[in-house]
Amino acid sequence: MDLGLSGRRALICGGSKGLGFAAAQALAREGVDLVLVSRTAEALEQAARQIVDETGVKVTTVAADLSLADAPATVLAACPDPDILVCNPGVRQTPDDFRTMSRADWDFWMEAHYFGPLELIRAIVPGMCERKFGRVVNISVSNIKFPQVNFAHSHSARVGLAGAIASMVRELVPHNVVINSVLPGFIDTDALRTNLHAHAKRGNTTYEAIVADRIKMTPANRFAAPSECGDLIAYLCSAQIGFMTGQNIVIDGGVYQGLF
């Protein structure tokens, strides 16, 4: 399927690795020029070279830490008018005890998983409305459907963003601007492997045992390749998706058992 995106421009947050990079690859194959944002300049340049070599699209990089309050301004200065925005905090969620977290700890997660993406969305969608085309995809996590113990800080920020998005979309869709969220489960990225190693250490068990346990709880009986999520994100940016907005789409191999 031709997604109707050739010649468009996408701003991809967390674009040097993992799901952000997978989304960037998928969009580049559709002829989309890219602005990649991540904290580490070296990783960004490596990602950009790989995508240019594979697809020939134009790739610009911006080194910025989106967990910092001034980062959205830096990003917007480099790319004020994208056709596509992929919000991906690029901050790996880690467990913590809500009883002992400080206000500063909570503020960090709200900045990374709520205010950072929200500020980008708020700044970019007015221009999309004027141009009568805009696609925003927010990368969240499947666990916002069933928040987990010791993740109140991260999951509450992400749920808050989902609520804000749900309130915005009806004002935007008449202008052919839509926002949808992807809620990944176990995707085989560096971030997942790092998390599982940490789980193994905390549980005094092996990494292999933790992986086997997570695969056992996944009806698909495997982890997903990042490209599977990247391709979904690309479709959610397509010209064909203009009638679907405000959705939270779980991609987790069947782990989540709810209807809604």
CB 57 within 8 Å of CB 68: no
* 75 token code pair: 């990003």
Residue 155 has pLDDT above 90, yes or no: yes
* Gap between the Cα atoms of 140 and 156, Å rounded: 11
Q: Show Cβ contacts of residue 19 under 8 Å, excluding neighbours closer than 6 positions.
A: 88, 139, 184, 187, 189, 226, 229, 230, 233
Closest CA to 196 of 40, 92, 97, 67: 92
Residue 145 has pLDDT above 80, yes or no: yes
How many C-beta atoms lie closer than 10 Å to residue 146's C-beta? Answer: 11
CB 21 within 8 Å of CB 48: no
Task: Determine the length of the chain.
Answer: 260
pLDDT band at 70; cut points 50, 70, 90 = confident
* 51 token code pair: 């995508």
* 154 token code pair: 């991260």
Residue 54 has pLDDT above 90, yes or no: yes
Point out the least confidently predicted range of 74-78, 90-94, 105-109.
90-94
Residue 92 has pLDDT above 90, yes or no: no
Residue 66 has pLDDT above 90, yes or no: no
Residues linked to residue 138 through DSSP beta bridges, in sequence order: 87, 181
Q: Which residue stretches of the chain are H helix?
A: 18-28, 41-55, 71-78, 103-110, 116-131, 152-172, 190-202, 207-216, 226-236
Distance (Å) of CA 147 to CA 104, 151, 155, 194, 229: 21, 7, 6, 20, 21
The pTM for the full model equals 0.94
Query: Considering the chain, what percentage of its residues have pLDDT values greater than 70?
Result: 100
Closest CA to 38 of 19, 66, 10, 58: 66
**Radius of gyration in angstroms for the set of CA atoms belonging to the chain, rounded to a whole number:** 18
Residue 90 has pLDDT above 80, yes or no: no
165-217 pLDDT, tens digit each: 999 999 999 999 999 999 999 999 999 999 999 989 999 999 999 999 999 99
Residue 13 has pLDDT above 80, yes or no: yes
CB 238 within 8 Å of CB 8: no
